[in-house]
Structure 1
Amino acid sequence: MSGLAPSTAAAPGYRPRSTLPLRVEAVRQLKRRRTMVMAAVLAALPLILVAAFAIGGSPDGSESGRITLMDTATASSANFAATCLFVSAGFLLVIPVALFHGDTVASEAGWSSLRYLLAAPVPRARLLWSKLAVALAFSAAAIVLLPVIALAVGAVAYGWGPLKLPTGGSLDAAETLPRLGLVVLFICLSQLVTAGLAFWLSTKTDAPLGAVGGAVGLTIVGNVLDAVTALGDWREVLPAHWQFAWIDALQPQLEWGGMIKGAAVSVSYALVLFALSFRAFARKDIVS
């Protein structure tokens, strides 16, 4: 007597790729309070800097005897936008990236809503891809938001003009925007390591604060290690070593070497961390 094989057919009309559309996940994340708070913080930074320059006076580099990017902050809106990126790239922009990636899975695991999404049923890989894509998009939007608002605020406060270079000379408006766009692109790529760390930790814990704090903490550790000159050439394998390589884009002649190396290091780390995230989530006990 032959037995009947168990049915593996899916329900009529069920398509795994159609579950949890990106727009649904994007709307869910957009409505969360932390998204609005981070947007407000990033929008406020240019206003705070304008107020600081108005109170303390425009920097001129006379004390140190050399001109830096900060000393040219009030020369034009383009200089002001570049300065906002300079003061925020090392830490402030790390926060929204870690928040969007570290909170997205861990928070829903803590709320026990992941089990209901998977019961929909949404395949685990599909669910994680949707969350990762939205987190990457929101992080990129946060990084782009800062210079866009800084350009607008700087145009009102200091006027529109060429980008004055700390090394001397200037870039006209036609060349300034592409250079700033390149800077923003590199910062997005350099933040992929923080994104990967936060996303991986988010799949390992049900505590969002642990995932976000862990990613920020490890990023800070990388910055500290990069400051240890005794490590010599070993520092070049640290993503933090290249985080300000985008300064080469604000030179009379565009230099690609540092940015290419930095992007390669960051993307390599990120790919490994994202792969570990999918591996961890595939084995995660959602109902525990």
Structure 2
Amino acid sequence: MKKDNFKNEYFKKVIEKIAESIYHENILTSFIENLDEVIGERFENAEQLTKKVGNKIIESIDNTEAITKEIEEMTIKSENEKDKISILNKNIIEKLSTIGDNLNDVKNDVNESINMVSDALSNFDEVIGITKNINKIARKTNMLSINASIEAAKAKEHGRGFAVVAEEIQKLSTETNESAKKINEKINILSYEIKNVLEKINYISELFNIIAEVTESSLEILEKNESFLDELIDSLHSNSVLLENNLGNLSMSKEEMLELINTISTLNSVIKNVLNMQKKIKDIKI
């Protein structure tokens, strides 16, 4: 009886061990089936992303090194060209100063011409007023001569001499009136032409003002040009030194990034091998 109980207890423990082993096998199998998705695929995606980002960083480092060299070359070239630019700058300033003085003289002449033309127009207005008065006097004289002729005709023989004088006065009045009309016409034409000239002179004056302003602005810019060049060269030199000091760090970063990419790639290969081994473990039967 005791022997049978012992056997039953033994078989019970064996069955429990087998059940436990099967349970562990099922858990391990489930873990292995999900391990490739959980670790393998994600790590492979991480490897690809790391390579992509790393290559971009390496490309940026290479571009930075190239830009640094270009800045160094530009700085050296700027320093060499500075003296030439400075001499050219001074020559341009001298010429612009001369042009500015000449423009001021021309502006004064133009303003004087405007004043003279304006005075001429005013004088023409006065002359037109005088010719109008002459026309009035001529008309009145003509009326007087007509009246004198009538009175001379009434006096017959006694008024013959007076009639001759009245006729001459009438002729003079007519000629004066015609001359006044011609003068008035000429003055109107001249006045119109002078007004056109005045408009053109004013337009020229505006152009000279614009040219003078541009010249003055150019002078101010050129006078600041040399100091600007100094500041530009100093800035280029400072940036060049700063970039040179950081090139070593960039090179180290580039090497570290390459090492990181290789490490992740190696680690991914190891994980793939581990996953393959786990799949083989799955095939082992207990």
TM-score by length of 2: 0.21
TM-score by length of 1: 0.21
Q: By percentage of residues, which structure has more helix?
A: 2
Who wins on radius of gyration, i.e. which is larger? Answer: 2
